Amino acid sequence: MLLISLWVYAAPPALPKNIGNQTTEALIIFYKTDCPYCQNMTKVLEKETGFVSLLEENFSVQRVNIMTEEGRKLADQFNVHAVPSFIRFNTESGENSMIKGFPGIQKLAALLHLEYSVPVEEAVIQDREVTVHTVNETATASTGKILVGCGDGIVQGTEQCDDGNVVNGDGCSSTCTIQPGYTCVGTPSVCTTTCGDGVKAGAETCDDGNTVNGDGCSSTCSTELGFNCVGSPSTCVTVCGDGIKVGAETCDDGNVANGDGCSSTCSTEAGYNCAGSPSVCTPSTPPNDDCANAISFSGQTGTVPGDNTNATNPGTFVPACSTFEKDLWYKFTLGTSTPVQLALNGVSMTDPILALYSGSCAALTLVTCDDDSGPGLNSLITTTLAAGTYYVRVISYSGTGPHSGTFNLVYNISGNICGDGILAANEECDDGNLTDGDGCSSACKFENSNTIKGVAINRDGLRADPSSMLDVKSTDGGVLIPRMSSTQRAAITSPAKGLLVFDNTSNTFWYYKTGTGWTEINGAAGTGFGVTNSGSVAFNGSGVYTPAWPTELYDDGNNFASNIFTAPQAGVYQFTASYTVNSSAVPLLFLLIADIRSAGTIYTANTVIVPVGVTGAVTVTVTAMAKLSAGTGVYSDLSKSAASTSNITGSTFNGYRVY
């Protein structure tokens, strides 16, 4: 039998325009060798020779292994993704239809509109009990379901389920076994996922092994807002920055920026209160809002920044030195009688006040207070204090203007008073005042701006630009980098990342790169060689043409011995070769193939193949990039596939070292 022989021996054929001589109807049977249903179908067909003959009478039968390259292409043509599958194909009209799976002899005959009677096994359901008997008639709807195996919708034998198809991924597999994560009941089987079993299946977007809400995977196995769940069983983590406060997040303000109250890990930052989802964060009350939590000075001199915007108004306060609103507290301790200086600058509020107290928070004594003695009507206290603990209070004035804001509290409890014009041991400068921005700050420190220092090298005496640490300025000189030989450069012990030198041997700059070592900075980029041949050379026969380069446009010292460019030093090179071929005789179809060849490593190259079938000029260009050691040769050639009256009227070969 033709079908049987094809079934056992045939290789997958290409689909011809007319598959059979006796009919325009083809039946293409797709299979693969490791498919148990395909093997079962083979056994059934081998026994039913009468049915095989009927198929051969009505169709040109072809068997295609879907695992071969040709079979896969043919399967893709008909959108076949499961085996066994039958394609009924009309070779004249191109119309086709598909039967998925092997439904059995009787049902297959009915689907193919063939009349065929054969004893078949028939399952009749009676009071939920299945009896199997044999009938010798054509199966009809009145004779019950035909027993055809997995995919017939009847759970029988060793089948765990049967949902009427042989598709994987819907709960009942192509071998009629229940897939992990599903529960299948009934006949035909209805399969549903089992939420909470730890197996992510079907429409479940997660399954973490439980049906608890609030842990990222809900009781219906859907990913909850604010979480990202992966894996099976699913692991769910919060998504910081999505504006949804869930899980262990104490806030989520819709971003992952630090410094706005809600950190990059969605935790509330110190000094803030955050509420809502997305979270709104507002500064909390400063820690030194009252005397008991006063911040201690660090060292004998320094500057403490402050912001009393969210400080509380203490109301009536005794002893008071002026009308006030919000205040912040600081403290220090002296071991001996010491001159002390306190000052405010960088103030954004209107007319703040400084108050100095002795004693304890429970029994304070006002030493002094000041409103406008400092530069720009800022507060300034200069006094000598006995040994003891003292409290400093920064108060916002209750008059007009902003009653709160930022400030800098500058303190000097070293005994050396800044601004007296006497340079003390702890002072970098003392210009006799406490004015900032004049080069010597109110803390008697050198300054370029309020806080930024840099080194200036110039001839005009100006300070360094605030954005630079080193500001070199000149119109008649430059910066001279250390110069040395290659041997000296290589001998540098433990060079730092980014170390820059000029190599006298190679006449190029080199820098040290961690993990790579010394790296040359584009030593020869943009320079190299260029050669050209503008004469006319006959190129009539088929073969290879390797040009001789009589004229050099520019040269890095290479003499092109044997028409080969020899790399003068190691590096990565870029090459371009171009040929102009003029065919003036009767047109003859041939191919021009240009190439660049080397014993070195070719990184990238394009071999150009140009079909030529007309007279006239044709230009062929090819490029390549190669990594070459010193002395490695590179050349270019042009080959022609057939004889033709042609001339090479021009050719060029260019290259340069990239690095």
Q: Which residue has the higher pLDDT, 496 or 464?
A: 496
Cβ burial of 126 (10 Å; 0-12, 13-18, 19+) is exposed
Decide whether 291-412 matches 528-657 in CATH topology: yes
First to last CA, the chain: 71
Residue 559 is classified by DSSP as -
Per-residue pLDDT band at 648 (split at 50, 70, 90): confident
Q: Which H or E element spans position 411?
A: strand 406-412
227: pLDDT strictly greater than 80: yes
- Phi, psi of 234, deg, nearest 5: -75, 140
pLDDT band at 349 (very low <50, low <70, confident <90, very high): confident
Q: Are 634 and 565 in contact (CB under 8 A)?
A: yes
**pLDDT tens digits, 469-485:** 888 888 888 889 999 99
> Tell me: the pLDDT tens digits for 7-36?
433 333 444 333 334 567 889 999 888 887
Across residues 218-226, what is the average pLDDT? Answer: 91
Q: Give the single-character DSSP code of 359.
A: E
Please give the distance of CA 585 from its chain centroid, rounded to a whole number: 57
Q: DSSP string covering 208-246, please?
A: -SS--TTSSB-TTS-BPTTEEEETTTTEEEE-TTSS---
| pTM (two decimals) | 0.33
> What pLDDT is recorded for position 219?
92
Give per-residue pLDDT as tens, 590-637.
666 666 677 667 766 666 666 776 677 888 888 888 888 888 888 888
Domain boundaries, the chain: 2-116, 291-412, 483-520, 528-657
Is 615 in contact with 593 (CB distance < 8 Å)?
Answer: no
CA distance 261 to 281: 5
Which of 61-75, 220-234, 564-578, 586-600 shows the lowest mean pLDDT across its residues? 586-600
- 106-149 pLDDT per residue, tens: 788 888 888 887 554 433 333 333 333 333 333 332 233 333 47
Q: Which of residues 219 and 127 earns the better pLDDT score?
A: 219
Sorting pLDDT into bands at 50, 70 and 90, what band is 258? very high
Confidence of residue 233 (pLDDT cuts 50, 70, 90): very high
pLDDT tens across 168-193, in order? 888 898 889 999 888 899 888 889 88
Q: Cα dihedral angle (296, 299, 301, 305), rounded to 10 degrees?
A: -40
Of all residues in the chain, the percent with pLDDT exceeding 90 is 19
- CATH of the domain spanning 2-116: 3.40.30.10
Average pLDDT over residues 276-285: 87
C-alpha closest to that of 297 among 342, 236, 230: 342
Q: How far apart are CA 372 and CA 403, in angstroms?
A: 16
pLDDT at 270: 80
Question: In Å, how far are 240, 269, 308, 403, 420 from 283, measured between CA atoms?
Answer: 21, 9, 11, 17, 39
Tokens of 389: 């603990």
CA angle 628–629–631, rounded 5-degree value: 105
Q: HEC states along 364-403?
A: EEEEEEECCCCHHHCCEEEEEECCEEEEEEEECCCCCCCC
Query: How large is the average pLDDT for residues 413-431?
Result: 76
CATH says 291-412 is which class? mainly beta
Strands 327-334 and 295-296: what pairing? parallel
- Could you give the percent of the chain with pLDDT greater than 70? 80
**pLDDT greater than 60 at residue 163:** yes
What residue has token string 């060798």? 33
**Tokens for 76?**
């893709």
Give CA–CA dist 308/329, Å, rounded: 10
Query: Where residue 279 falls among pLDDT bands split at 50, 70, 90?
Result: very high
pLDDT band for 386, please (50, 70, 90 cuts): very high
**2.60.120.40, 3.20.20.100, 3.40.109.10, 3.50.50.60: which CATH number matches 528-657?**
2.60.120.40
Instruction: Pull the structure tokens for residue 553.
Output: 């446009």
DSSP assignment of 448-479 equals SSSS---EEE-SS-PPPPTT-SEEE--SS---
pLDDT at residue 401 tops 70: no
Mean pLDDT over each residue of the chain, to the nearest integer:
78
**Structural contact between residues 408 and 304, judged by C-beta atoms closer than 8 angstroms:** yes
The residue ranges of DSSP E strands in 7-139, in sequence order, are 25-31, 60-65, 85-90, 96-100, 120-126, 129-135
Amino acid making up residue 86: F
Query: What is the model's pLDDT at position 395?
Result: 85
Q: Which helix (H) or strand (E) holds 340?
A: strand 338-345
- DSSP state for residue 361 in the 8-state scheme: T
